[in-house]
């Protein structure tokens, strides 16, 4: 079921939670709404579900205008952040709820209803929980019950609000993969709200990054990383460090010492560069910025924190890549920094020109 | 005996309140000192009359009528106050309107007011020459003050804060999410109310009903002004107790007290059992 959102506005008092959001989700797609808290992602989800009114703009789901259509008539499966299971009903009755409130004509009989619920329990891999009560379930089990309950109404659009928030890291990873597999099997258009970029990047076909009520960029995960559209996107994704500099004659010079100048296709003026840790490589050198911390990642890579100036540090990796070995890299050693690439935005804010850079030969 | 001594061994898990033995002992001591010992006196006193005398004292038509009135009016008042209290709690928790804080505070007024004051005020309002009682009598021919109807109104007044305040925290805790979940699953407002909201609130509503009833059945101050206190018609049991006390018929007064105690205990026990059945499987 395709979803089209155009110029959506929703205000709470004087602040606009949604400030002109436009978005087109294709049938069968898995889309993540990603953004810091307060960026409007949950509000967008609630407007789609019919739980918040839209003030301006339009929402069309499967070609049907949604203005004035109440939540109960939308046929959208929603999984709430805290799952919102009915605590006075056991698992079976929770899942059966959507079927048992159908108008009399379309309501399945007892035998059919039982069969449908059992099928959903099998699908979500919790058949043994049928007679349990919500208070007796773990977070992961509750999540599966909530999902089964949402799927019971056979929705063609599934909305998930921070579905992994209540799970511990280990379960989270596993459930994520399982959920994506389920999506691929059922083909239900799915929109997921999350503040966790790793989650969004791993799960979604496309990610919409929200910034204070607007969509900053809506693209595939790899495109978001390779070509961020705005400084906000570049800064939000991939733990990038933000550094100010000055462009003159196609060369960007940083304000801080210890960083080499970069070639960049931008007009003269101030510029902002975003450097990801992997794009900053430290080489052994007799003098230069000092290494403050060395940490070996699980993959055996050496991650460094380099001090550029007092209280200004930069994440970097060390060459040669590979295991942390003997003398280099070590704390308090001097190094020479090489920058293999960066996202650079010129003055004038939004006019972002991503510069794929090579090391400048100029000195 | 040995069974009760074995109890502490089960309680070896970490708890906020120290020592099962200590906590249980203190609780039992205070319960005994404040509740059980005086009640025991109440239990023993009427038997000064002898069993036959006790029965004769209670079988008096005037006593039977007053007990029927007290319990009937209290049950009815609690039954009226329960849905009213639910609505009040709903308004305070869910709705946003100017003066909400004032309404919130006003709910507790019946707690603070000497109930005699409330009784006087209501009598003035509802009496045949009062602001409300006058038109009611003129237009509908209804008499409220000095009848059992007036008693019920007074009891609703004292029971209302109990029903509202017991439902309120549960309603706050319930949140909107389960209602929203029901809506996205296709439930109408009525289905959401009947299948999601009310079942979740039912134990609290029942508790509120029980507290409201208990408060109403023992209410004295506000009722005696509005009741008219006609024997056999609008005389409540607590008043009859006072009357007997004034006649130095202490055993006779205690006999009515005993009857009230047993009846109230039966009602509260039934409510408690019903609540247990409601909560089964939860929590």
Interchain CB distance below 8 Å, B188 and A101: yes
Model pTM score: 0.77
Which band of pLDDT confidence, cut at 50, 70 and 90, is reported for residue B125? confident
Q: Which residues pair with A194 in a beta bridge?
A: A34
By the CB < 8 Å criterion, does B283 face chain A? yes
Q: Give the tens place of pLDDT for each residue, B14-44.
A: 667 667 788 888 888 988 888 888 888 888 8
Tell me: pLDDT of A243 over 90.
Answer: no
Tell me: pLDDT of B7 over 60.
Answer: no
Tell me: pLDDT of A4 over 80.
Answer: yes
| Distance (Å, whole) CA A302 – CA B89 | 60
Mean pLDDT for A260-284 is: 83
In a domain, A361, yes or no: no
What distance in Å separates residue A73's CA from the closest CA in chain B?
6
Whether residue A35 sits in one domain with residue A134: yes
CATH number of B60-279: 1.10.3720.10
By the CB < 8 Å criterion, does B198 face chain A? no
Mean pLDDT for A27-52 is: 92
In a domain, A50, yes or no: yes
| Integer-rounded Cα radius of gyration of chain A | 25
In a domain, A354, yes or no: no
| Integer-rounded Cα radius of gyration of chain B | 23
Q: Which residues pair with A314 in a beta bridge?
A: A306
| CA distances from residue B156 to B87, B108, B169, B265, B270 in whole angstroms, order as listed | 14, 13, 21, 20, 21
The encoded tokens of residue A95 equal 């899942």
**Taking a C-beta distance cutoff of 8 angstroms, is the pair A288, A334 a contact?**
yes
**What pLDDT is recorded for position B267?**
92
What distance in Å separates residue A26's CA from the closest CA in chain B?
22
Whether residue A221 sits in one domain with residue A259: no
| Distance (Å, whole) CA B15 – CA B8 | 13
The encoded tokens of residue B90 equal 């709903």
Whether residue A342 sits in one domain with residue A265: yes
Which band of pLDDT confidence, cut at 50, 70 and 90, is reported for residue B2? very low
Q: Which residues of A touch B195 (CB under 8 A)?
A: 97, 101
Mean pLDDT for A272-276 is: 86
Percentage of chain A beyond pLDDT 70 is: 93
Q: Write out the E strands in A156-289.
A: 157-161, 189-194, 206-211, 214-219, 241-248, 251-254, 262-263, 269-275, 280-284
**What pLDDT is recorded for position B3?**
42
Q: Give the tens place of pLDDT for each residue, A55-80.
A: 899 999 988 888 889 999 999 999 99
Residue A188 CB contacts under 8 Å (≥ 6 apart), including other chains: A28, A77, A151, A155, A156, A157, A158
Indicate the residue among A207, A226, A245 that finishes a domain.
A226
The closest CB to that of B177, out of A73, A80, A101, belongs to A80
Across chain A, mean pLDDT equals 85
The encoded tokens of residue A273 equal 């560069």
Answer whether the bond into residue B50 is a cis peptide, omega within 30°.
Answer: no
**What pLDDT is recorded for position A249?**
78
The closest CB to that of B186, out of A49, A80, A98, belongs to A98
Mean pLDDT for B228-249 is: 88
**What pLDDT is recorded for position A338?**
82
By the CB < 8 Å criterion, does A77 face chain B? yes
Tell me: pLDDT of A355 over 70.
Answer: no
Indicate the residue among A226, A241, A256 that finishes a domain.
A226
State how many domains chain A has: 2
What distance in Å separates residue A161's CA from the closest CA in chain B?
12
Tell which residue, B128, B145, B124, has the closest CA to residue B233: B145
Q: Give the tens place of pLDDT for each residue, B243-279.
A: 999 998 888 888 899 899 899 999 999 998 988 888 7
What distance in Å separates residue A56's CA from the closest CA in chain B?
22
Percentage of chain B beyond pLDDT 70 is: 92
Whether residue A249 sits in one domain with residue A265: yes
Domain ranges (residues) in chain B: 1-49, 60-279
Mean pLDDT for A271-296 is: 84
In a domain, A362, yes or no: no
Tell which residue, B256, B174, B272, B254, has the closest CA to residue B214: B272
**What pLDDT is recorded for position A325?**
56
Phi, psi of A136 (to 5 degrees): -95, 5
What distance in Å separates residue A160's CA from the closest CA in chain B?
12
Q: Which residues of A touch B200 (CB under 8 A)?
A: 86-88
**What pLDDT is recorded for position A272?**
87
The lowest-confidence range among A177-186, A232-241, B161-170 is A232-241
Tell which residue, B157, B131, B155, B162, has the closest CA to residue B223: B155
Tell which residue, B61, B54, B32, has the closest CA to residue B259: B54
Mean pLDDT for A97-102 is: 93
Residue B163 CB contacts under 8 Å (≥ 6 apart), including other chains: B78, B81, B82, B84, B85, B86, B205, B208, B209, B211, B212
The closest CB to that of B199, out of A71, A75, A88, belongs to A88
By the CB < 8 Å criterion, does A142 face chain B? no
Whether residue A290 sits in one domain with residue A259: yes
Whether residue A278 sits in one domain with residue A209: no
**What pLDDT is recorded for position B270?**
92
Tell me: pLDDT of A163 over 90.
Answer: no
Which band of pLDDT confidence, cut at 50, 70 and 90, is reported for residue A294? confident
Angle between helices B148-174 and B198-217 (to 10 degrees): 140
Which band of pLDDT confidence, cut at 50, 70 and 90, is reported for residue B13? low
Whether residue A205 sits in one domain with residue A65: yes
Q: Which residues of B touch A151 (CB under 8 A)?
A: none
The closest CB to that of B186, out of A88, A101, A135, belongs to A101
**What pLDDT is recorded for position B4?**
43
Q: Which residues of A touch B178 (CB under 8 A)?
A: 84-87
The lowest-confidence range among A87-91, A149-153, B52-56, B187-191 is B52-56
Interchain CB distance below 8 Å, B186 and A75: yes
**Taking a C-beta distance cutoff of 8 angstroms, is the pair B79, B71 a contact?**
no
10 Å CB burial of residue A32 (0-12, 13-18, 19+) is buried
Whether residue A256 sits in one domain with residue A195: no
Tell me: pLDDT of B1 over 50.
Answer: no
Tell me: pLDDT of A352 over 50.
Answer: no
Q: Which residues of A touch B198 (CB under 8 A)?
A: none
Selected residue of B171, B184, B197, B206 to mutate for chain A interface (largest A Cβ count, 10 A): B184
Mean pLDDT for B141-164 is: 88
The encoded tokens of residue A37 equal 């808290």
In a domain, A355, yes or no: no
**What pLDDT is recorded for position A139?**
85
**Taking a C-beta distance cutoff of 8 angstroms, is the pair B234, B228 a contact?**
yes
Tell me: pLDDT of A155 over 60.
Answer: yes
The encoded tokens of residue B111 equal 């707690």
Across chain B, mean pLDDT equals 85
Residue, of A148 and A291, whose pLDDT is higher: A148
Q: Give the tens place of pLDDT for each residue, A320-351.
A: 654 455 667 778 888 888 888 788 888 765 34
**What pLDDT is recorded for position B119?**
86
What distance in Å separates residue A61's CA from the closest CA in chain B?
15
Whether residue A285 sits in one domain with residue A183: no
Mean pLDDT for A90-117 is: 92
Kindly state the DSSP code that residue A194 receives in the 8-state scheme. E
The lowest-confidence range among A334-338, B9-13, B37-41, B142-146 is B9-13
In a domain, A162, yes or no: yes
Q: Write out the E strands in A26-108.
A: 30-34, 56-61, 64-65, 76-79
Interchain CB distance below 8 Å, B184 and A82: no
Q: Which residues of B touch A12 (CB under 8 A)?
A: none
Which band of pLDDT confidence, cut at 50, 70 and 90, is reported for residue A192? very high
Interchain CB distance below 8 Å, B199 and A101: no
In terms of residue numbers, what domain contains A37?
A: 3-226
Mean pLDDT for A135-140 is: 88
Tell me: pLDDT of A356 over 50.
Answer: no
ipTM surpasses cut 0.85: no
**Taking a C-beta distance cutoff of 8 angstroms, is the pair A229, A353 a contact?**
no
Indicate the residue among A175, A196, A226 that finishes a domain.
A226
By the CB < 8 Å criterion, does B277 face chain A? no
Whether residue A196 sits in one domain with residue A331: no
**What pLDDT is recorded for position B183?**
94
Answer whether the bond into residue A320 is a cis peptide, omega within 30°.
Answer: yes
């Amino acid at each position: 079921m395709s979803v089209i959102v155009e110029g959506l506005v929703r205000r709470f008092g004087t602040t606009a939670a949604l400030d002109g959001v436009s978005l087109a989700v294709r049938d069968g797609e898995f889309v993540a709404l990603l953004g810091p808290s307060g960026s409007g992602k949950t509000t967008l989800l609630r407007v789609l579900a019919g739980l918040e009114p839209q003030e301006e703009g339009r929402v069309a789901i499967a070609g049907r205008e949604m203005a004035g259509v109440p939540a109960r008539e939308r046929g959208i499966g929603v999984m709430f952040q805290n799952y919102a299971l009915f605590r006075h009903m056991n698992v079976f009755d929770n899942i059966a709820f959507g079927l048992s409130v159908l108008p009399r004509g379309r309501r399945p009989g007892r035998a059919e209803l039982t069969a449908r619920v059992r099928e959903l329990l099998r699908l979500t891999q919790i058949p043994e929980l049928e007679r349990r009560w919500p208070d007796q379930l773990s977070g992961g089990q509750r999540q599966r019950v909530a999902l089964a309950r949402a799927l019971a109404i056979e929705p063609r659009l599934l909305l998930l609000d921070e579905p992994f928030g209540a799970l511990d890291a280990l379960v989270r990873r596993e459930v994520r993969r399982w959920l994506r597999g389920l999506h691929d099997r059922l083909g239900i258009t799915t929109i997921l709200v999350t503040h966790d970029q790793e989650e969004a990047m791993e799960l979604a076909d496309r990610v919409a990054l929200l910034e204070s009520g607007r969509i900053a960029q809506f693209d595939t995960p790899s495109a978001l990383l390779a070509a961020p559209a705005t400084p906000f996107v570049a800064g939000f994704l991939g733990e990038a460090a933000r550094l100010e500099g000055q462009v003159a004659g196609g060369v960007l010079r940083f304000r801080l010492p210890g960083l080499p100048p970069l070639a960049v296709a931008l007009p003269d003026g101030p510029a902002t560069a975003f450097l990801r840790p992997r794009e900053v490589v430290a080489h052994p050198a007799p003098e230069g910025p000092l290494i403050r911390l060395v940490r070996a990642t699980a993959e055996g890579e050496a991650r460094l924190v380099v001090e550029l100036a007092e209280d200004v540090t930069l994440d970097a990796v060390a060459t040669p890549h590979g295991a942390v070995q003997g003398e280099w890299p070590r704390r308090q050693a001097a190094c020479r920094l090489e920058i293999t690439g960066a996202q650079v935005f010129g003055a004038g804010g939004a006019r972002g020109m991503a510069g794929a850079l090579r090391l400048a030969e100029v000195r | 005996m040995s069974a009760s001594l074995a109890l502490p061994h089960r309680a070896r898990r970490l708890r906020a309140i120290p020592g099962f033995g200590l906590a249980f002992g203190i609780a039992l001591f205070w319960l005994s000192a404040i509740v059980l010992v005086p009640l025991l006196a109440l239990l023993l006193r009427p038997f000064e009359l002898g069993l036959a005398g006790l029965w004769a004292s209670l079988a008096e038509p005037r006593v039977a009528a007053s007990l029927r009135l007290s319990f009937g009016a209290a049950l009815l008042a609690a039954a009226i106050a329960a849905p009213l209290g639910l609505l009040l709690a709903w308004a305070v928790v869910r709705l946003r309107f100017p003066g909400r804080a004032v309404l919130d505070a006003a709910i507790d007024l019946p707690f603070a007011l000497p109930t005699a004051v409330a009784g006087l005020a209501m009598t003035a309002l509802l009496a045949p020459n009062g602001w409300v009682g006058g038109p009611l009598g003129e237009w509908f021919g209804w008499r409220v003050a000095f009848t059992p109807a007036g008693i019920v109104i007074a009891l609703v007044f004292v029971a209302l804060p109990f029903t509202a305040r017991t439902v309120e925290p549960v309603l706050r805790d319930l949140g909107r999410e389960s209602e929203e979940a029901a809506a996205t699953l296709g439930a109408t407002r009525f289905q959401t109310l009947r299948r999601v909201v009310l079942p979740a609130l039912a134990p609290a509503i029942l508790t509120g009903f029980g507290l409201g009833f208990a408060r109403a059945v023992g209410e004295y101050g506000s009722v005696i002004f509005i009741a008219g206190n006609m024997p056999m018609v609008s005389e409540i049991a607590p008043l009859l107790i006072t009357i007997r006390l004034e006649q130095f018929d202490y055993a006779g007064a205690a006999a009515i007290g005993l009857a009230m105690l047993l009846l109230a205990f039966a009602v509260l026990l039934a409510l408690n059992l019903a609540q247990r059945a409601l909560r089964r499987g939860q929590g």
